Each structure stands twice: as structure tokens, then as C-alpha cells.
Amino acid sequence: MGYRRKSRELALQALFYLEKNQDESNKENKDELLDLFCLNFEKEITDDTQSFFMLLVKGVMDCESELDSLLDSCSKNWKLSRMSAVDKNIMRIGAFELLKCPDIPSSVTINEAVEIGKKFGAKDSASFINGVLDHIKISENIK
């Protein structure tokens, strides 16, 4: 497995952990939770994966409302609140890459998200993720 795939999978796990453990009354604890996640996964977060992992996690954290708005508008008949946390976080990572990482071809970003969806998501996750990210690519005029 390449270091970027490993970074994406770790980012998914970290974002899922943050979403499920964040105290709604204290939004500031995300950094503390991320530090705890990194401490518990220090063997998996290697020198090769750390930089891209942190780019994805911090990027999604910083742009979460923008990404969620885009996901909400590009998913037919699905409100963000109804999406599984796994699918939602895979698509947040994919949308972040599409919007903020122009050095990564959009086809690679979408393919990686689909493959991670097959591994971590439900039976229909991959096709759902593919459809939403493709809609984002088209609506945002991304090559």
C-alpha cells in the first residue's frame, strides 16, 4: 500500500474518531483529540505518512463547514445528517483533495475515495461516494 493511501485511511480513522468523541460544548477539544489519536497510532503514522495525513486531517477540520455544505448540495435526496459517519468523512477527504490539492488528479482522488469506501463502508458506499464526488468535480468545474 502506498503512503498516500495509508495517509488517507488514517485520516478517515482520525476524522471518524474526532466526530464521535468531540464534546459539542467544547469545539476546541479537536486538537487534543487529534493529539490523542496520533499518540495511539504513532506506529502507523510514520515519517512517510505523517505530512499528507496531517494535511488531510487539518484541512478537513479547517474547511469542514464549506465541505459539508458542498456535500449537502451535491448529494441527491441525502441530508448530511442521514449519511454514515464513514461515508461522510471519506467524502470530506475527497472533497478537500478536489478543492485544495490541485497537484492530485481528480480521477485519482475519486478512485482512492471509492476504494477506501469499499474497504471501510457499507455495501453501497462506493457507488454513493463516487456519485457525490463526481458531482462535486462537475459542479466545481475541476479537471
Grid look-up 477506501 returns 116
How far is 100 from 80, CA to CA, in rounded Å?
21
* Domain housing 17: 3-139
Q: Which helix (H) or strand (E) holds 109?
A: helix 106-120
How far is 5 from 52, CA to CA, in rounded Å?
10
pLDDT tops 60 at residue 2: yes
In this prediction the pTM is 0.94
Backbone dihedral angles phi then psi of residue 121, each to the nearest 5 degrees: -95, -170
CATH of the domain at 36: 1.10.940.10
How far is 109 from 12, CA to CA, in rounded Å?
14
- Helix boundaries (H) for the chain: 3-21, 30-40, 47-74, 85-100, 106-120, 125-139
pLDDT tops 70 at residue 23: no
Domain count, the chain: 1
C-alpha cell belonging to residue 33: 483529540
pLDDT tops 60 at residue 132: yes
